[in-house]
């Protein structure tokens, strides 16, 4: 009932992403929209244009991505994922599940930040030790995934935290193709998410494949 009323007041979309030509912080957002059967418009921003500063001046935190849902303008990739979670019923079945999903999403963010630091600041000197330390981060997600038994982090269908974890794991598999070999639940999670028809089609699209993972070309 609440949900149908909310839909009366808030017409979803059309969604628009304004971002640089990378997967970066829109990777999970795009995968989630694709899996939810949404269409969206992409405005790709050239870094030289960005440096002129006009667009930056209009961004709440001076950064991209920018996400538009009709008249709603959002920044912060995790706020965007949460918004999609609310719009598409991918934020748990009740407040308790939502809290656990938030917790897992923050855990993914911690890993995403460590990965970004390595990629952007210490790729040449720090890549090997990062890969060596990776099991110590992945085992936490493995434990949650193994315990839940549904193939998702929380509940029995994908939440925005699952899309975020999935995308971070795809990037880590590019960094180190064997990194999930000792984590059977995560490995099966990635295989099953990749095989979902709409995700499979999106990952196979030129729109996805043409974009580098990170802005500095390292991966
Ligand atoms: N916490 C923000 C989010 O999650 O959206 C971080 C956004 C961010 O760092 N944006 C970078 C940016 O706009 C690009 S990227 O790291 O996402 O690739 N950089 C340009 C600038 O002028 O800061």
For residue 11, what pLDDT is reported?
Answer: 58
- Which pTM does this prediction carry? 0.95
* Tens digits of residue pLDDT in 63-88: 999 999 999 999 999 999 999 999 99
Closest of 38, 36, 27 to residue 165, by C-alpha: 27
Ligand 1 centroid–CA 64 distance in Å is: 5
CB 80 within 8 A of CB 74: yes
Ligand 1 centroid–CA 39 distance in Å is: 23
CA distance 171 to 179: 11
* Tens digits of residue pLDDT in 15-62: 999 999 999 999 999 999 999 999 999 999 999 999 999 999 999 999
Identify which of 20, 21, 25, 46 to mutate to test ligand 1's pocket (most ligand atoms within 8 A of the CB).
25
Question: In this predicted structure, which of 11-15, 105-109, 179-183, 209-213 has the lowest mean pLDDT?
Answer: 11-15
Identify which of 18, 63, 164 to mutate to test ligand 1's pocket (most ligand atoms within 8 A of the CB).
63
Q: What integer best gives the mean pLDDT of the chain? A: 95
Given a cut of 60, is residue 6 above it in pLDDT?
A: no
């Amino acid at each position: 009932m609440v949900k149908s009323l909310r839909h009366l007041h808030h017409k979803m979309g059309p969604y628009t992403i304004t971002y640089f030509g990378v997967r970066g912080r829109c990777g999970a957002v795009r995968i989630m929209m694709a899996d939810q059967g949404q269409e969206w418009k992409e405005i790709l921003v050239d870094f030289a244009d960005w440096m002129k500063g006009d667009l930056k001046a209009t961004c709440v935190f001076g950064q991209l991505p920018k996400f538009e849902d009709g008249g709603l303008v959002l920044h912060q990739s995790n706020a965007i994922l949460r918004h999609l979670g609310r719009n598409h019923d991918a934020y748990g079945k009740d407040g308790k599940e939502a809290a656990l999903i938030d917790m897992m999403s923050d855990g993914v963010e911690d890993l995403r930040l460590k990965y970004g630091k390595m990629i952007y600041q210490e790729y040449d000197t720090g890549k090997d030790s990062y890969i060596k330390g990776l099991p110590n981060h992945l085992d936490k997600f493995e434990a949650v995934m193994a315990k839940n038994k549904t193939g998702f982090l929380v509940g029995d269908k994908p939440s925005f935290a699952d899309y975020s974890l999935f995308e971070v794991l795809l990037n880590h598999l590019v960094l180190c193709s064997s990194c999930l070999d000792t984590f059977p639940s995560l490995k099966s999670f990635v295989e099953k998410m990749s095989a979902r028809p709409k995700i499979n089609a999106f990952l196979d699209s030129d729109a996805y494949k043409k974009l580098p993972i990170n802005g500095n070309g390292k991966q």
